[in-house]
Structure 1
Amino acid sequence: MIQIRTFKAPDDPEACEKFIIGHQKLLEIFGISKITSNRQDWVDDEHTIVILVEDKDTRAVYGGARVQMVSDRFSLPIVTAIGKYDDKIYEMINEDQQRGGTCEICGLWNSREVAGMGIGSYILSRVGVAITKQLPVVSLFVLCAPITVKMGLRLGCTIERELGNDGLFYYPKDDLIATVMRLKNIDDLSLATDMERGKILSLRQDPHQFVVESGPKGAFEVEYNLGIPHLSL
């Protein structure tokens, strides 16, 4: 059975290592050797929450994502990625920090073993939005590839058109485009689709549940364990 669980990065170094290796292998397939969200210094950061997709019995890791909060040690990966091109990103993040805190969903990936199941394109981003309710944040950012912009819109995020070229940047390579998106209020899901809103609210209300999910390859059962242990931020 597939399990999706969440934890602070320092609480499970072994799982973080599997996450990093799997993510790097996927990036190499697309010819990407450097990406800001794949730096490994987050593994001992209390403000990094890992979302892990794994086989519950074998502990084989099939994918994951991170929710990175601003801390004394780190800003958000999006700052490193686009700050040198448009410094207005600093103002946006500082504004949200003053309002109560912000974070970024980053490092999202899934392995070929679960390709076509909707884990990378639907489930991980949905979980990222759902767990922000447990964190000291009021908003979230996400830097989307063209194929994942629709995912952000489904979740209720909007494109930050004041940044870059109408929200667009060339990243992580000159021939690739990324779009800056933000959910300005994690409690306001009015722009999300009805289905996504319902699923996010369900996961927030009951972080531990068994759900039969369906993707292009058919139905499969997922155990969600989304309560973040030892959270004292």
Structure 2
Amino acid sequence: MSVTINVRAFVAPDDPEACMRFYEGHSKLLEIYYGIAKITSGNVDWIQHRNTIVVIVEDETGTKTYGGARVQMADGVLPLPIETAIGKYDPKIYEYVRKGSAEICGMWNSKEVAGMGIGSLILCRVSVALMSQLPIDRVHVLCAPITTRMGRRVGAVIDTSLGNDGTFYYPKDDFIATAMVIPDVDTVNNADPNERNLIQELRKDPVQTRTESGPKGSYDVNYNLKIDNFNYYGYDVQP
């Protein structure tokens, strides 16, 4: 597939139209291909949540969405999806969700770009790169079996203190999810060395164009990861 894509980040309520394209694409993918009608990261509350940063992958016109991910910050206002998903099985998750923590969630890519590495390469890397612009030191991820390898590559480790050595049945009884955490988002010491370098390059220059390579070949990516109009609110303003 020969295509140039745009990858940008923004505060969720600042672009509701893009948020709806994200939501509809994610929901359709889950329902059609996986038979999952609703998951905790699939609700729409985040669209009006100013502590949610959206990463969206679009065509050059900015009207077609190929995929995306969200970084939702813990603020005592909107629960993280991982809290809602596994809290009833293991309430220890609530101890971890505090000011300074966040979750990478809702990651997906359309079948149209399957095999390009949009989800496995671009979105994982970008989501971690964004942390340097946010008041975050710890990031949670709830991974499907196939995505634990992706998590490890960008510095996540399995949180064996939760569930059954970090695993849960979610979102259905025949699906296994693994709780992972990046405990050091500034340094990502557990990341693959090459991946760590790419993350740091995106942090140093969040607006750039790069040629990326995936299983199906090379393609150009226009990155605009500078988050405008962001002001954290939450625990420190609660009564």
- The TM tier, using the shorter chain, reads over 0.9
- Out of 21, 25, 46, the position equivalent to 2:24 is 21
Find the counterpart in structure 1 of residue 236 from structure 2.
none
The whole-number CA distance in structure 1 between the counterparts of 2:194 and 2:156 is 15
- Out of 39, 46, 62, the position equivalent to 2:43 is 39
Check if 1:66 corresponds to 2:65. Answer: no
Change (3 A) 1:12 1:58: closer
Q: For structure 2, which runs of at least 5 residues remain unmatched after alignment?
A: 233-239
Offset at residue 188 of structure 1 (A):
2.4
The whole-number CA distance in structure 1 between the counterparts of 2:190 and 2:138 is 14
Find the counterpart in structure 1 of residue 205 from structure 2.
206
1:172-199 CA-partner distances (Å, limit 9, x unpaired): 0000000000011111222111111011
The whole-number CA distance in structure 2 between the counterparts of 1:61 and 1:34 is 20
Partner SS, residue 56 of structure 1: coil
Q: For structure 1, which runs of at least 5 residues remain unmatched after alignment?
A: none
Tell me which amino acid in the other structure corresponds to 1:41: D
Find the counterpart in structure 2 of residue 128 from structure 1.
127
Offset at residue 71 of structure 1 (A):
2.1
Partner SS, residue 104 of structure 2: strand
Offset at residue 118 of structure 1 (A):
0.2
The whole-number CA distance in structure 1 between the counterparts of 2:142 and 2:16 is 25
The whole-number CA distance in structure 2 between the counterparts of 1:56 and 1:106 is 24
- Out of 48, 51, 55, the position equivalent to 2:52 is 48
The whole-number CA distance in structure 1 between the counterparts of 2:27 and 2:226 is 27
Query: With structure 1 as the length reference, what TM-score do the two structures score?
Result: 0.96
The whole-number CA distance in structure 2 between the counterparts of 1:136 and 1:176 is 33
1:117-172 CA-partner distances (Å, limit 9, x unpaired): 00011110111100011011111000000000011111111100011000000000
Partner SS, residue 120 of structure 1: helix
Find the counterpart in structure 1 of residue 181 from structure 2.
182
Q: Root-mean-square deviation (CA), in Å?
A: 0.9
The whole-number CA distance in structure 2 between the counterparts of 1:107 and 1:217 is 24
Offset at residue 58 of structure 1 (A):
4.9
Query: With structure 2 as the length reference, what TM-score do the two structures score?
Result: 0.93
1:2-49 CA-partner distances (Å, limit 9, x unpaired): 000000010000000100100001001210011000100110110010
The sequence identity of aligned pairs, in percent, is 57
- Out of 65, 78, 87, the position equivalent to 1:83 is 87
1:47-101 CA-partner distances (Å, limit 9, x unpaired): 010000001225200000000011242121100000000011111223xx3xxx1
Tell me which amino acid in the other structure corresponds to 1:120: G
Tell me which amino acid in the other structure corresponds to 2:42: N
The whole-number CA distance in structure 1 between the counterparts of 2:74 and 2:94 is 12
